[in-house]
């Protein structure tokens, strides 16, 4: 389902203004005028539903939530409460609207805040999703980015309840999977906390990987269990 919202117009068959999308049964609003890039990041579309496997009865943090699709899927999977956090006010407003569209506003709260501050706030969660923007946009930033991935994953693991699930992602083109996993390993080791990898995923099939261009395998999504 794609429908024009209030004030929507069509020019040469291309819709402008607010839209409402049906993404595999999840309703989501989108505005091309007030969103980043194309308005909605669909490379995680097949990964969002994975959160439902672990969400029943859980307290969930959706870090760098953007439009809240990880958190909304968690709520649809039976999460007791979802807190979504993003530094973008417009993204948080859209995430709140998406929760209302799906009848989940009673279990989903979205706030403008720094994810790091929430993770350091002393509250623990049963399920944490960390899906930040790219930390390494050039090869020269890769080393610094690796340190940032280690730091954010250390804070996430520290805020994760015993037996919890961490879904951690990287969309940095210049951060190979092996380096991203090394950053996660270092984060766990710094806390003396064992972790188990339950799954590794990438972008959907509409984002194919070209063997001659390794950067096309940019999206990393790792599902971890932390006893």
Residue 184 is part of a domain; what is its CATH number? Answer: 3.40.50.150
| Within a domain: 13 | no
pLDDT at residue 143, rounded to an integer: 81
Helix (H, G, I), strand (E, B) or coil at 25: coil
| Within a domain: 20 | no
Q: Domain range for residue 56?
A: 40-226
| Within a domain: 8 | no
Give one DSSP letter per residue of 99-150, joined into a string: HHHTT-TTTEEEEES-HHHHHTSS--EEEEEE-PPPS-SSGGGHHHHHHHHH
Q: Token pair 């190979």 is at which residue?
A: 176
44 to each of 10, 94, 120, how far by Cα in Å?
Answer: 28, 18, 26
Does the global pTM surpass 0.95?
Answer: no
| Within a domain: 146 | yes
Please give the tally of structural domains in the chain.
Answer: 1
Active-site annotation, residues: 171
- Residue 35 scores a pLDDT above 70: no
pLDDT at residue 174, rounded to an integer: 82
| Within a domain: 31 | no
pLDDT in tens, 46-79: 999 999 999 999 999 999 999 999 999 999 999 9
The least confident of 14-18, 153-157, 175-179, 218-222 is 14-18
- Residue 84 scores a pLDDT above 90: yes
- Residue 196 scores a pLDDT above 80: yes
């Amino acid at each position: 389902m794609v429908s024009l919202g209030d004030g929507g117009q069509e020019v040469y068959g291309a819709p402008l203004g607010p839209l409402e999308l049906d993404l595999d049964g999840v309703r989501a609003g989108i505005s091309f005028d007030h969103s980043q890039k194309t308005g909605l990041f669909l490379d995680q579309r097949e990964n969002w539903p994975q959160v439902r496997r672990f969400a029943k009865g859980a307290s969930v943090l959706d870090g760098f939530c953007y439009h809240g699709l990880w958190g909304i899927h968690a709520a649809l999977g039976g999460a007791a409460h979802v807190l979504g956090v993003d530094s973008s006010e417009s993204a948080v407003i859209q995430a709140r609207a998406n929760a209302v569209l799906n009848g989940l506003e009673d279990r989903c709260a979205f706030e403008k805040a720094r994810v790091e501050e929430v993770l350091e706030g002393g509250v623990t969660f049963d399920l944490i999703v960390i899906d930040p923007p790219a930390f390494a946009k050039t090869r020269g930033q890769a080393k610094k980015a690796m340190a940032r991935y280690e730091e954010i994953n250390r804070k996430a693991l520290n805020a994760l309840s015993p037996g919890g699930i961490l879904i951690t992602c990287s969309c940095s083109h210049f951060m190979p999977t092996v380096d991203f996993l090394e950053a996660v390993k270092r984060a766990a080791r710094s806390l003396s906390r064992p972790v188990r990898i339950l799954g590794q995923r990438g972008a959907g099939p509409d984002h194919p990987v070209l063997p001659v261009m390794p950067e096309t395998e940019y999206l990393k999504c790792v599902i971890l269990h932390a006893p």
